[in-house]
């Protein structure tokens, strides 16, 4: 999912789907990486029958008797295991053997443990006095961790009883009261795959979500010896939202070290995802568990979908002519905007079109190429996932910070043309130079390129100067055209990279930057340069402005942007974990771009007529109300409905419009740069905040859904703070405006 929003028709349709469509399971998506960590398990090799070491099923009884003395005689019993199915890795150096002895006299016992390749260890017991009653003799040896036990190898355990005095000895094993055995600790059990064998049936849980019944989970278990009896005591721990379930008494299939264990989960309340851990009861009575957590997402689908796949495809293709219609409307709207009393102001129209074209070229270079293709390319250069996220964050931060820096220089020199030309040369050079570079050189050069592209904020400052009384609509039109061309270019930018490689992408970036620069330079000089007045300005500082409201406006926008970055920008991954079928939203995503294009123009007019401070307040209220409800954990359909409601144009256009109103022409470039920086830096703070919160909540062993909910709910006070500050700002600016009339 992208972060774009979508229009009322799709909103109503998705609400119908939310309330009228019963959800079912379509395709279960699994998420787990098998842990390489060894799970240690204690297993008893029971002495059984005629010289066997048995690991499964009840042993059979046996005995060995004889007389011993200091002069000679030995009572001896030897037991051998079946061959191991796989190589065994010991996890404890010690091993323990026991035997029940009865008789009369004073004796001692030697125990020898060996494999096909030699003796593992041998140990002697202390002196024993037999009094006629069976007693257990336990000895503990060492050396097991050094043993090499390979596939098809066997263990041999030998008991030898000798006399310290004349004695009669009776060895006993395999009886319920006398279970003589060898105890070892190693990686005897290893789950190799856990899967949903049967997703069960869906039911309405009467809480606005859906649940499931009779889910069958199967696990393939590899054991090094025959452990079928242990398999019948396998445990499935299930995390279902806030609930923890323990599923016992599984059905077991298979033999000879390859088992399939099936658990039936009677009912779960959270209808979209669960996580499970496989555990088992070792022979020492201690529960052991595998370190892999298996998670499943159950995508939502309709039992009788309102839109068939064919209908959905037709509507998706119909988006192309809709895009043309909206584009045509936008061009007509721009022509009307540059007219007065029905007469087109030709020179102004041509100049504004050059500015629009230049803005569009920079928009594509930033959004389509830098944030998408370039960030994707560093993965192919060998970047780790954390480095990819770092690169994306650094690009956003540099783009936000560079705007005020370009603006400060423009305010100080009054020469926008030279700055745009300089940025264009840097951008073209960086685009071409970084194509053959390795990871970190490419990383650094992309930062230089993004800093050059930050000059785009001068375009918005220039538009606000040309249309002093309609600055909001002018800014909105620039945004609208920018998103129109990025929507069109999004169709081909991935293909350019996939088919032609990074060189073609970088050349495309260079051509776009060059075209944008040339288009800007075609604007008449008197329209691009700031008229410097003989007044004292605060160009020595980025944050000092003549109007007291500038800092308050920047603060208000940043306070809205912080929880937006924390919750809104991270919500696509949350929606995926809720199991939403991404294919069903492709139609709404395409409509979303159309909504933004229209809304940017409309919001610009609203800012001019009713005050940008009120629009900024409206954005804070909309984000606060809708996304606070979102954080409470709604049904998947309702979550998507909130996610796709358009709000971001209210924030961006009102922020730029306010800074245009409260800055002088000598401060305008810097002011519009600071407007962009406030939103970008605010969102970066929000993302850092949510990462910290989620890491903290994850440390308490909570499910992914619960972590998201708690982290999102922690941002509700920030939404409230944003509403409070923007409300105060709107009231104060409104009162000052009335007092000045």
Q: Which of 40-49, 98-107, 377-386, 519-528 has the lowest mean pLDDT?
A: 377-386
Euclidean distance between CA atoms 221 and 229, whole angstroms = 13
Q: Residue 84: name the closest of 183, 187, 182 by CA.
A: 187
Among the residue ranges 87-96, 173-182, 493-502, 567-576, the one predicted with the least confidence is: 567-576
Mean pLDDT (the chain) is 81
Weakest-pLDDT range from 150-154, 300-304, 616-620, 678-682:
300-304
Q: Is the pLDDT of residue 15 over 70?
A: no
Percent of the chain at pLDDT > 70 equals: 82
Residue 389 placed within a domain: no
Mean pLDDT of 338-358: 84
> Is residue 576 located within the same domain as residue 466?
no
Q: Looking at the domain assignment, is residue 340 inside a domain?
A: no
The tally of domains found in the chain comes to 4
Confidence band for 13, pLDDT divided at 50, 70 and 90: very low
557, 671 Cβ separation under 8 angstroms = no
Inside any domain, residue 100: yes
Say whether both 279 and 354 belong to one domain: no
Confidence of residue 251 (pLDDT cuts 50, 70, 90): very high
Q: Is the pLDDT of residue 416 over 90?
A: no
- Kindly tell me the number of DSSP H helices and DSSP E strands found in the chain: 22, 26
Greater confidence, 2 or 233? 233
Mark whether 491 and 506 lie in a shared domain.
Answer: yes
Q: Tell me, what's the pLDDT at 686?
A: 86
Whether 395 maps to a domain, the answer reads no
Q: pLDDT (tens digit, 9 = 90+) per residue, 64-111?
A: 999 998 888 899 999 999 999 999 999 999 999 999 999 999 999 999
Judged by DSSP in three states, 552 sits in helix
Q: How many angstroms from the chain centroid is the CA of residue 18?
A: 25
**Residue 16: pLDDT band by 50, 70, 90 thresholds?**
very low
- DSSP secondary structure, 355-417, as one string: HHHHHHHHHIIIIIIIIIIIHHHHHHTT--HHHHHHHHHHHHHHHHHHHHHHHHHHHHH--HH
Domain boundary among 135, 167, 186: 186
Residues 603 and 669 both lie in one domain: yes
Q: How confident is the model at residue 4 (pLDDT cuts 50, 70, 90)?
A: very low
- Read off the CATH number of the domain in which 124 is found: 2.60.120.260
On whether residue 402 sits in a domain, the answer given is no
Asked if 176 and 238 sit in the same domain, the reply is no
- pLDDT, tens digit, for every residue of 682-720? 888 888 888 788 878 877 767 667 788 888 999 999 999
Residue at token pair 């249309």: 467
Q: Considering the domain boundaries, does residue 404 fall inside one?
A: no
Give the integer Cα–Cα distance in Å for 291 and 190.
10
Domain boundary among 529, 562, 587: 529
The whole-number average pLDDT for the span 175-188 is: 89
Return d(Cα 95, Cα 603) in angstroms, integer: 77
Question: How confident is the model over 616-649, as pLDDT tens digits?
Answer: 999 999 999 999 999 888 877 788 778 778 888 8
* Digit-coded pLDDT (tens) for 456-504: 888 888 888 888 788 888 888 888 898 888 877 876 777 787 788 889 9
* 141 pLDDT higher than 60: yes
Residue after which a domain boundary falls, among 273, 298, 323: 298
Q: Are residues 582 and 510 in the same domain?
A: no
- The CATH number for 259's domain is 2.60.40
Is residue 514 predicted with pLDDT exceeding 80?
Answer: yes
411 falls within a domain: no
Distance CA 467, CA 353 (A): 14
Statement to judge: residues 603 and 710 lie in one domain? yes
Q: Domain check: are 606 and 671 in the same one?
A: yes
Domain hosting residue 599, numbered range: 1-27+536-741
Domain membership of residue 593 (yes or no) is yes
- Work out the average pLDDT over 398-409: 87
Question: Is residue 89 domain-shared with residue 179, that is, in the same domain?
Answer: yes
Q: Which has the higher per-residue pLDDT, 645 or 204? A: 645
- For residue 520, the model assigns a pLDDT of 92
C-alpha to C-alpha distance for 348 and 149, rounded to whole angstroms:
86
What's the whole-model pTM score?
0.57
User: Residue 668's domain is classified under what CATH number?
Assistant: 1.20.1250.20
**Would you report the helix, strand and coil content of the chain in percent, each value rounded to 5?**
50, 25, 25
Structure confidence by residue, pLDDT tens digits, 597-613: 888 888 888 888 888 89
Statement to judge: residues 578 and 634 lie in one domain: yes
Q: Kindly tell me if the per-residue pLDDT of 312 is higher than 60.
A: no
**Residues 593 and 582 placed together within one structural domain of the fold:** yes
One domain for residues 611 and 578: yes
């Amino acid at each position: 999912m992208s972060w774009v929003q979508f229009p009322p028709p799709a909103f109503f349709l998705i609400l119908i789907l939310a309330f009228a469509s019963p959800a079912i399971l379509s395709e279960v998506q699994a998420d787990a990486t098998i842990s390489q960590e060894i799970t240690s398990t204690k297993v008893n090799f029971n002495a059984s029958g005629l010289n066997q070491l048995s690991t499964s099923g009840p042993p059979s009884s046996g005995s060995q008797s004889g007389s011993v003395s200091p002069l000679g005689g030995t009572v001896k019993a030897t037991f051998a295991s079946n061959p191991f199915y796989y190589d065994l890795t010991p996890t404890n150096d010690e091993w323990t053997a026991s035997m029940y002895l009865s008789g009369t006299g004073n004796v001692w016992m030697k125990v020898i443990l060996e494999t096909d390749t030699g003796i593992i260890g041998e140990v002697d017991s202390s002196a024993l006095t037999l009094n006629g009653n069976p007693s257990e003799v336990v000895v503990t040896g060492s050396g097991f961790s050094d043993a090499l036990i390979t596939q098809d190898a066997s263990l041999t355990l030998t008991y030898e009883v000798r006399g310290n005095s004349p004695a009669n000895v009776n060895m006993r094993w395999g009886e319920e009261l006398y279970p003589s055995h060898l105890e070892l600790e190693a990686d005897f059990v290893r789950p190799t795959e856990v899967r949903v064998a049967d997703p069960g049936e869906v039911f309405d849980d009467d809480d606005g979500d859906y649940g499931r019944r009779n889910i069958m989970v199967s696990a393939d278990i590899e054991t090094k010896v025959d452990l079928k009896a242990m398999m019948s005591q396998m445990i499935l721990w299930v995390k279902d939202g806030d609930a923890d379930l323990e599923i016992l008494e599984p059905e077991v299939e298979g033999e000879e070290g390859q088992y399939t264990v099936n658990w039936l989960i009677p009912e779960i309340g959270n209808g979209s995802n669960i996580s499970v851990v496989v555990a088992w009861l070792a022979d020492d009575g201690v529960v052991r568990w595998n370190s892999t957590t298996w998670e499943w997402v159950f995508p939502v689908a309709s039992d009788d979908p309102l839109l068939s796949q064919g209908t959905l495809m037709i509507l998706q293709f119909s988006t192309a002519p809709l895009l043309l219609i909206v584009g045509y409307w936008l061009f007509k709207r721009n022509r009307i905007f540059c007219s007065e009393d029905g007469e087109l102001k030709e020179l102004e129209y041509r100049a504004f079109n050059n500015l629009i074209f230049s803005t569009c070229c920079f928009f594509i270079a930033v959004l389509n190429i830098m944030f998408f293709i370039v960030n994707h390319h560093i993965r192919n250069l060998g970047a780790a996932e954390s480095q990819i996220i770092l690169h994306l964050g650094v690009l956003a931060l540099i783009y936000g910070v560079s705007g005020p820096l370009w603006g400060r220089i423009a305010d100080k020199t009054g020469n926008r043309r030279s700055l745009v030309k300089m940025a264009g040369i840097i951008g073209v050079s960086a685009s071409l130079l970084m194509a053959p570079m390795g990871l970190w050189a490419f990383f650094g050069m992309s930062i230089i390129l993004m800093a050059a592209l930050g000059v785009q904020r001068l375009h918005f400052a220039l538009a606000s100067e040309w249309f002093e009384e309609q600055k909001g609509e002018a800014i909105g039109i620039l945004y609208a055209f920018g998103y129109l061309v990025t929507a069109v270019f999004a169709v081909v930018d991935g293909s350019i990279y996939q088919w032609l490689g990074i060189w073609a992408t970088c050349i495309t970036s260079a051509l776009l930057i060059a075209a944008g620069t040339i288009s800007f330079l075609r604007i008449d000089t008197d329209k691009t340069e700031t008229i410097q007045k003989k007044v004292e300005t605060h160009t020595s500082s980025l944050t000092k402005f003549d109007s007291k409201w500038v800092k308050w406006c920047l603060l208000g926008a940043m306070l809205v942007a912080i929880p937006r970055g924390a919750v809104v920008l991270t919500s696509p991954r949350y929606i995926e974990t809720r199991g939403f079928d991404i294919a069903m939203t492709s139609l709404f995503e395409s409509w979303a771009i159309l909504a933004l294009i229209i809304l940017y123009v409309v919001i610009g007019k609203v800012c001019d007529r009713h005050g940008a401070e009120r629009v900024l307040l409206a954005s804070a209220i909309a984000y606060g109300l809708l996304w606070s409800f979102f954080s409470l954990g709604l049904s998947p359909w309702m979550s998507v409905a909130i996610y796709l409601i358009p709000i971001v144009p209210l924030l961006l256009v009102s922020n730029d419009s306010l800074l245009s109103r409260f800055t002088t022409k000598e401060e305008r470039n810097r002011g519009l740069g600071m407007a962009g920086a406030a939103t970008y830096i605010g969102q970066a703070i929000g993302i850092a905040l949510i990462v910290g919160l989620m890491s903290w909540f994850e440390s308490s062993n909570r499910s992914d859904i619960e972590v998201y909910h708690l982290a999102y709910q922690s941002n509700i006070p920030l939404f409230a703070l944003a509403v409070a500050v923007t409300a105060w700002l709107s009231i104060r600016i409104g009162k000052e405006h009335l007092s000045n009339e």
